[in-house]
């Protein structure tokens, strides 16, 4: 088993742990670990032809996803005064069942898929799809705004993992642009979480349900406001 | 020239944060919008060449959408300046806190810069970065009025569009995977490289890429069933921003989809893309029709009308042939009309202090010019003859009939009629009827003029399409494999 495969197994385990954990602080730490893994992937995938560009990209990804995001998210957690529990919409055990089923499905799919390029490891593509799937599930199945951001990041990490499988000579301007966008997105989402907690006294997106169509007649005027 | 069109609003965006004088900022916004529009107009005379080794460039599609965006931005900037001045003059309203005006103007200019970048980028990675950047630049704009509803709308917008665009990123990587076996691997995501590779692209991965990119950019474009954020964001944003979101941003996302369709056509799987777009188009039409019936909030009504029209755009491309020309012409008409309607809606909200259609009546009596613009906009947006939208819808219908898509033709006719009746009942009731306080109010020119100019252009396009525009539309439709 190569270093790449060991690290992919760790990625699978962090995803399962994210689906099963009830502690927000722990979930943030898990996403930070994923950031370090995703940073290491392009280097390991290109091994042993590692250029200075791979190292630079890896360094910047590690700095943003492994250090900066956890700091930002922890600050949002502290300032918003969120309860330190995840509050799932779908329970932890069903989430884990979904996670394991998804993993099995992706491994089967990965074995059948016809890759037009040589992947550095047969595990890489299925595991990246699995990460995207679990990130997506976390967004849908957790109520808090902060957990939804975590889900978005898990999904992003999966997409990064797939990109490292491509090992194309991408001009790294694009990679940096993508990283910058994601960084700004998390930054703005952090500000929004702060506003949500101040405005609603909670960060439970499930209760943000004032905007919809088809109100009962007598209630329709309650939404009335000056704009 | 392309570089300046992006840099100018970018510099203006930084300048708005530094500048101390509020009046200077507002005038600067209008001035930059004007210069940007002038620069765009000069591209009609002399089309600029590619830039940054072909990463940026301007073809007929870019020029068409750039003109729309830039023109609409001028109208929105004038309207935004007027409403900011009015808001500053009004006594401090504690129940209605707003964000900082400097940040608002700065984000507005940043929004223009990112949209310009989307339109001129010819590299799928850069296109992705630019489209995500438009989301980030416009989120603070939607949250300008600080209350819990706009907060909810902004959160939905930010999260759903970011997730959607993350899927588009995956689609972009699939596109790179599809080209892995062909030549030109140094710059695998450039539009030219991909189109030259043509049938050398892996068809399976290309189709997967198409699906993910359509779902991703379709979320941003507001194609049903991915539209759920759109009515909230478009109705809660300040009206000049709503006009830009509906009239300019949806086009940018549409352009993202058109670029992938160009690659699909070059690879010979254009039919696959057309079927998917046709399906999305019909679903969007149907969903919009359902939600327009019985809508009580008139800005939400306009937002659902946007869902209807992006559905028509997808449908036009899906039909193929002359439908492509029709769709592009429709994009022109829809942008202008929707911009006009949202700006007018902003004036109505300012006058009546409500977005509830039931609380507005006697518009023609109390505010005659706004009232007439509202009625004209109603007939324009529903595709009634003297306006441009009638002709673009007619071209698409004829193309659908010519291609033998009879189910599409029938569904289109039925759903457009439903939408017409739904919008007529709500909007006409607002214009007619008595007003509780029937005194006529003076309407400042600065508030009515932007919408009026847009309305006149739509009316003009219904009567006579200038030759250069026809040439440009034909050239752009040619890129999508369709001729009139």
Task: Give CA separation, A183 vs A31, A212, B14, B169, in Å.
Answer: 14, 30, 19, 15
Helices vs. strands in chain B: H and E counts, helices first? 20, 0
Neighbouring residues of B294: CB distance < 8 A, sequence distance ≥ 6: A214, B422
Predicted confidence (pLDDT) at residue B182 exceeds the cutoff of 80: no
Q: Is B97 on the interface with A (CB under 8 A)?
A: no
What pLDDT sits at residue A142?
82
User: Cβ A200–B126 below 8 Å, yes or no?
Assistant: no
Predicted confidence (pLDDT) at residue B461 exceeds the cutoff of 60: yes
Which residues of chain A neighbour B126 with C-beta distances below 8 Å? 173-174, 177
For the stretch A50-108, pLDDT in tens is 778 778 888 888 888 888 889 888 888 887 776 667 777 888 888 899 999 999 999 88
Tell me how close the Cα of B419 comes to any Cα of chain A, in angstroms: 16
Mean pLDDT to the nearest integer, B394-416: 92
What pLDDT sits at residue A214?
55
CA B49 to chain centre: 26
What pLDDT sits at residue A225?
34
- What Rg, from alpha-carbon coordinates, does chain A have? 19
Calculate the CA dihedral of residues B322, B324, B325, B327 and round it to 10 degrees. Answer: 120
**Residue from B204, B238, B215 nearest B169 by CA:** B215
Mean pLDDT to the nearest integer, B195-202: 83
Q: What is the mean pLDDT of chain B?
A: 88
CB B121 within 8 A of CB B62: no
Tell me how close the Cα of A161 comes to any Cα of chain B, in angstroms: 10
Interface test with B, best of A150, A198, A211 (most B CBs within 10 A): A211
For the stretch B27-54, pLDDT in tens is 999 999 999 999 999 999 888 888 877 7
Chain B, window 394-453: residues with a beta carbon less than 8 angstroms from a chain A beta carbon: none
User: Cβ B355–A195 below 8 Å, yes or no?
Assistant: no
Q: Is B178 on the interface with A (CB under 8 A)?
A: yes
Res. B121 pLDDT band, cuts 50 70 90: very high
For the stretch A139-173, pLDDT in tens is 888 878 888 889 999 998 998 888 887 765 555 66
Alpha helices for chain A (secondary structure H) = 3-20, 24-46, 52-61, 69-79, 92-112, 124-141, 145-166, 172-200
What pLDDT sits at residue B329?
94
User: Cβ B177–A115 below 8 Å, yes or no?
Assistant: yes
What pLDDT sits at residue B437?
62
Chain A, window 164-183: residues with a beta carbon less than 8 angstroms from a chain B beta carbon: 166, 168-171, 173-174, 177-178, 180-181
Neighbouring residues of B89: CB distance < 8 A, sequence distance ≥ 6: none
Chain B, window 155-174: residues with a beta carbon less than 8 angstroms from a chain A beta carbon: 155-156, 158-159, 162-163, 166, 169-170, 173
Distance CA B144, CA B141 (A): 5
Which residues of chain B neighbour A222 with C-beta distances below 8 Å? none
**Residue from A125, A99, A98, A146 nearest A41 by CA:** A125
Which residues of chain A neighbour B360 with C-beta distances below 8 Å? none
User: Cβ B148–A200 below 8 Å, yes or no?
Assistant: yes
CB B71 within 8 A of CB B43: no
Q: Is A195 on the interface with B (CB under 8 A)?
A: yes
Neighbouring residues of B447: CB distance < 8 A, sequence distance ≥ 6: B79, B82, B83, B86, B347, B350
Long-range contacts of A122-126 (CB under 8 A, 24+ apart): A123/A5, A123/A8, A124/A4, A124/A8, A124/A41, A124/A45, A124/A161, A124/A162, A124/A164, A124/A165, A125/A162, A125/A165
Q: Is B296 on the interface with A (CB under 8 A)?
A: yes
Q: Is A205 on the interface with B (CB under 8 A)?
A: yes
Mean pLDDT to the nearest integer, B356-361: 85
Residue A13 CB coordination number (10 Å) = 12
**Cα three-residue angle B53-B254-B291, rounded to 5 degrees:** 165
Which residues of chain B neighbour A152 with C-beta distances below 8 Å? 159, 162-163, 166
Q: Which of B136, B145, B204 sits opposite A181 (nearest CB)?
A: B136
Task: Give CA separation, A120 vs A48, A125, B186, in Å.
Answer: 11, 10, 19
Tell me how close the Cα of B232 comes to any Cα of chain A, in angstroms: 6
Buried b (16+ CB within 10 A) or exposed e, B282-292: bbbbbbbbbbb
User: Cβ B163–A225 below 8 Å, yes or no?
Assistant: no
What pLDDT sits at residue B38?
94
- Per cent of chain B over pLDDT 70 is 95
Distance CA B63, CA B118 (A): 12
Query: Higher pLDDT residue, A115 or B468?
Result: B468
Predicted confidence (pLDDT) at residue B95 exceeds the cutoff of 60: no
Lowest mean pLDDT among A134-143, A158-167, B258-267, B396-405: A158-167
Query: Higher pLDDT residue, A9 or B94?
Result: A9
**Residue from B6, B64, B47 nearest B252 by CA:** B64
CB B79 within 8 A of CB B240: yes
User: Cβ B236–A211 below 8 Å, yes or no?
Assistant: yes
User: Cβ B236–A177 below 8 Å, yes or no?
Assistant: no
User: Cβ B155–A166 below 8 Å, yes or no?
Assistant: no
For the stretch A198-225, pLDDT in tens is 666 665 665 666 666 654 443 433 343 3
Buried b (16+ CB within 10 A) or exposed e, B195-217: bebeeebbeebbbbbbbbbbbbb
Distance CA B401, CA B411 (A): 12
Distance CA B307, CA B225 (A): 10
């Amino acid at each position: 088993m190569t270093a790449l495969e060991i690290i992919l197994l760790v990625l699978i385990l962090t995803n399962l742990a994210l689906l099963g954990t009830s502690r927000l602080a722990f979930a943030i730490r898990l996403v930070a670990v994923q950031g370090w893994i995703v940073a290491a992937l392009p280097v390991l995938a290109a091994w042993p032809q590692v250029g200075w560009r791979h190292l630079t990209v890896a360094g910047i990804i590690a700095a943003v996803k492994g250090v900066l995001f956890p700091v930002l998210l922890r600050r949002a957690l502290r300032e918003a005064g969120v309860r330190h529990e995840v509050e799932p919409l779908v329970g932890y055990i069903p989430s884990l069942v979904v996670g394991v089923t998804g993993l099995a499905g992706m491994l089967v799919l990965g074995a059948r898929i016809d890759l037009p390029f040589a992947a550095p490891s047969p595990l890489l593509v299925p595991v990246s799809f699995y990460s995207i799937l679990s990130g997506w599930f976390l967004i849908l199945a957790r109520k808090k705004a902060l957990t939804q951001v975590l889900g978005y990041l898990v999904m992003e990490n999966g997409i990064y993992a797939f990109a490292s499988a491509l090992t194309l000579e991408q001009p790294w301007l694009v990679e940096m642009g993508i990283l910058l966008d994601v960084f700004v997105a998390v930054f703005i989402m952090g500000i929004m979480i702060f506003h949500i907690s101040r405005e609603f006294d909670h960060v439970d997106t499930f209760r943000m349900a004032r905007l919809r169509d088809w109100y009962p007649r007598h209630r329709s005027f309650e939404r009335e406001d000056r704009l | 020239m392309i570089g300046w069109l992006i840099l100018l609003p970018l510099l203006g965006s930084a300048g708005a944060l530094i500048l101390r004088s509020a009046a200077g900022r507002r005038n600067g916004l209008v001035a930059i919008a004007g210069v940007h529009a002038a620069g765009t107009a000069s591209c009609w005379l002399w089309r600029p060449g590619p830039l940054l080794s072909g990463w940026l460039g301007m073809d007929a599609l870019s020029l068409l959408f750039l003109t729309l965006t830039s023109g609409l931005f001028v109208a929105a900037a004038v309207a935004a300046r007027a409403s900011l001045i009015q808001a500053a003059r009004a006594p401090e309203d504690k129940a209605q806190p707003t964000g900082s005006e400097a940040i608002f103007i700065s984000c507005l200019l940043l929004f223009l810069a990112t949209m310009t970048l989307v339109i001129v980028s010819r590299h799928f990675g850069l296109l992705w970065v630019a489209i995500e950047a438009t989301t980030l630049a416009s989120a603070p704009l939607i949250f300008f009025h600080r209350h819990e509803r706009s907060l909810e709308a902004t959160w939905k917008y930010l999260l759903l569009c970011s997730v959607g665009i993350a899927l588009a990123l995956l689609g972009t990587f699939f596109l790179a995977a599809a080209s892995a076996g062909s030549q030109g691997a140094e710059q695998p995501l450039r539009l030219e490289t991909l189109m030259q590779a043509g049938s050398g692209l892996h068809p399976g991965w290309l189709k997967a890429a198409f699906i993910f990119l359509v779902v991703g950019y379709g979320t941003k474009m507001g194609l049903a069933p991915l539209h759920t954020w759109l009515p909230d964001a478009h109705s809660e944003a300040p009206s000049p921003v709503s006009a830009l979101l509906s009239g300019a941003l949806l086009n940018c996302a549409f352009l993202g989809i058109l670029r992938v369709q160009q690659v699909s056509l070059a690879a010979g799987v254009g039919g696959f893309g057309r079927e998917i777009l046709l399906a999305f188009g019909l679903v969007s039409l149907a969903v919009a029709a359902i939600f327009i019936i019985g809508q009580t909030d008139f800005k939400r009504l306009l937002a659902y009308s946007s869902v209807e029209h992006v559905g028509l755009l997808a449908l036009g491309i899906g039909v193929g042939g002359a439908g492509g020309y029709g769709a592009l012409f429709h994009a022109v008409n829809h942008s202008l009309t929707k911009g006009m309607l949202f700006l007018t809606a902003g004036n109505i909200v300012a006058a009546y202090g409500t977005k509830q259609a039931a609380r507005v009546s006697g518009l023609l009596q109390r505010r005659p010019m706004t009232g007439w613009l509202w009625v004209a906009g109603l007939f324009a947006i529903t595709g009634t003859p003297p306006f441009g939208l009638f002709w673009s819808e007619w071209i698409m219908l004829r193309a659908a009939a010519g291609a033998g898509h009879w189910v599409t033709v029938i569904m289109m006719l039925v759903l457009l009629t439903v939408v017409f009746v739904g919008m007529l009942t709500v909007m006409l009731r607002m214009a007619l009827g008595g007003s509780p306080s029937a005194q006529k109010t003076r309407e400042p020119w600065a508030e009515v003029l932007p919408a009026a100019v847009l309305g006149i252009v739509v009316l003009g396009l219904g009567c006579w399409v200038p030759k250069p525009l026809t040439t440009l539309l034909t050239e752009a439709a040619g890129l999508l494999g369709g001729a009139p």
